[in-house]
Amino acid sequence: MSDRKVCELTIMDITERMLSFHSRDEIAAAADYSEYNTGTCDALKEMRLDMEKLTEAEFIQKYDELSLEKGDELFGLEEDEPKAQYLQGYCSIIEDVLSFINPGYTYDQMTMLEEGIEFDDAFEEAFYGGMEHPHHEDDEECGCGCGHHHHH
């Protein structure tokens, strides 16, 4: 920490602190988070290099595409596999940093995802984590974009 005013902190300062934290592996049960932290650190290192040379729009586009690509790869893996843990850390920190730049990023991604995918029961379970999907109670098409019609 420094004596600088908070308004003087840059995204480079913040991501450096994030990288430093995840590199130390000091969190409880660090061995259990080793692959997650490695993925987090690798993504932060890549993003920090690109922050120095890409425009905001180029940066967002690159890492949005990369997060989606890695997320697709992650979706096909078992959750406890080391590669899955690595990709979870990698994608999660990208989403965090992109949310710093655009606070609506996560919401925008969820909206686009819901509009672009025909939900089936298995995907709903994975996407909503076991929570019941918020469908309409009447005979209308569900407003979430999943394409379901509900007849009661």
Nearest Cα neighbor of 16 from 93, 123, 116 is 93
Extract the tokens encoding 129: 């984590």
Mean pLDDT over each residue of the chain, to the nearest integer = 77
Residue 32 is predicted with a pLDDT of 67
> Distance between CA 138 and CA 143 in Å, rounded?
11
Same domain, 93 and 38: yes
Same domain, 22 and 85: yes
Number of domains in the chain: 2
Same domain, 50 and 19: yes
Same domain, 59 and 95: yes
Which has the minimum average pLDDT: 14-28, 53-67, 102-116, 132-146? 132-146
Q: Out of 26-35, 58-67, 120-129, give the one with best mean pLDDT.
A: 58-67
Q: State what percent of residues in the chain have pLDDT above 90.
A: 38
Tell me which of 77 and 46 has the higher pLDDT.
46
Extract the tokens encoding 63: 């890492």
Same domain, 32 and 78: yes
Same domain, 126 and 96: no
Same domain, 87 and 121: no
Same domain, 11 and 67: yes
Tell me which of 37 and 150 has the higher pLDDT.
37
Q: Are the CB atoms for 11 and 100 separated by under 8 Å?
A: yes
Same domain, 152 and 84: no
Residue 31 is predicted with a pLDDT of 64
pTM: 0.67
Nearest Cα neighbor of 119 from 133, 100, 109 is 133
**Domain limits at 144?**
117-152
Which has the minimum average pLDDT: 10-14, 26-30, 88-92? 26-30
Does residue 81 lie within any of the structural domains? yes
Residue 103 is predicted with a pLDDT of 82
Does residue 112 lie within any of the structural domains? no
